[in-house]
Amino acid sequence: MTQKRRTAGIRVVGEGLNIHLDPGPGALVYSISEGFDPQRLNAILVSHCHPDHYTDAEVLIEAMTHGTTKKRGILAAPRSVLRGSDAGHSRAISDYHQQMPEQVIEVSAGLSFQTGDTGISVTEAKHTDPDAVGFRFHTAKYGDFAYTSDTEYFNGLTKCYAGVRLLILCVMRPEGKPWKGHMTTNDAIRIIEESHPEQAILTHLGMRMLLENPEKEAKLVEEKTGVPTTAAIDGMRLGFGETIVVNERGKNGQQGLNKFL
């Protein structure tokens, strides 16, 4: 609500790959201001039916389909986003907009699909939207990276992320401040210890986390796990290639780019 941190999601860009992941409020505006043409998108992924993850999905669909003039691209989202759910969620994307992409995929944990040369596996999440999911991305050249989306810790969560090189975790709360359906720093430590990524990123930082100092929480995770850990900032760019590089705002990364909008 405050936009102390942006809610525009993550842009994933690589050879033949241009994905917007969880396009919340500001996704269109910040894409343009950061130099990412939304008309170049070839996939939009939505993890669950909460407005900080889906609000700009329809306008990005219109951009991806070049103002509705070309049936192109993939929309991948769970049932709650596409059709609503028994938990009280109304669909977030209209029938009109769902007719625009070339392919609409209703995702659930365990499903796999392809965009370009990148395979995407849908991972399990436990959140206040029971249809919520995360995503794991498989690249032929550089291995895997993954995004947990909003979830609480549960038995079996870390098996979804074993072997990933880069793990992006939605960590809303600091150490010792739990909230149902979300992760704390303590949960992030446990997941990272069990999955052993090369690099971890903490994102989706709530107000409690911001007041506690995200950089301090990231340092705690790194000290406990031995895994380099960074708290996301607006405009951060991550180079994902033979090495993983966390770049300062405005600096270009390697081929294969995660961009926090």
pLDDT band at 253 (very low <50, low <70, confident <90, very high): very low
Asked, for residue 3, whether it belongs to a domain, the answer is no
- Rounded average pLDDT over 166-186: 93
Asked, for residue 124, whether it belongs to a domain, the answer is yes
The torsion of the CA quartet 259, 232, 176, 208, rounded to 10 degrees, works out to -100
**Percent over 90 (pLDDT), the chain:** 89
Alpha carbon distance 1, 100 (integer Å): 30
Q: Is the pTM of this model over 0.85?
A: yes
Q: Read out DSSP for the chain?
A: ---SS----EEEEETTEEEEES--TTHHHHHHHTT--GGG--EEE--SSSHHHHTTHHHHHHHHTTTTTS--SEEEEEHHHHH--TTSPPPSS-HHHHTSSSEEEEE-TT-EEEETTEEEEEEE--SSSTT-EEEEEEETTTEEEEE--S----TTTGGGTTT-SEEEEEEEE-TT---TTSEEHHHHHHHHHHH--SEEEEES--HHHHHH-HHHHHHHHHHHH-S-EEE--TT-EEEESSSEEEEPTT----SSEEEE-
* Distant-in-sequence contacts of 177-181, Cβ < 8 A, 24+ apart: 177/208, 177/212, 179/206, 180/128, 180/152, 181/126, 181/127, 181/128, 181/150, 181/151, 181/152
Asked, for residue 252, whether it belongs to a domain, the answer is yes
Mean pLDDT score of the chain: 94
Which pair of structure tokens corresponds to residue 113? 């699909």
Residues 12-34: tens digit of each pLDDT: 999 889 999 999 999 999 999 99
Residues 189-229: tens digit of each pLDDT: 999 999 999 999 999 999 999 999 999 999 999 999 999 99
Q: What is the pLDDT of residue 179?
A: 86
Count how many domains the chain has: 1
Identify which of 261, 193, 204, 198 has the alpha carbon closest to the alpha carbon of residue 231: 204
**Tokens 């926090």, residue?**
260
- Rounded average pLDDT over 106-131: 97
List the CATH number of the domain containing 25: 3.60.15.10
Asked, for residue 193, whether it belongs to a domain, the answer is yes
With 0-12 / 13-18 / 19 or more C-beta atoms within 10 angstroms meaning exposed / middle / buried, residue 217 is buried
Asked, for residue 248, whether it belongs to a domain, the answer is yes
Asked, for residue 1, whether it belongs to a domain, the answer is no
Asked, for residue 229, whether it belongs to a domain, the answer is yes
Which residue range(s) make up the domain with 230? 10-260
Asked, for residue 74, whether it belongs to a domain, the answer is yes
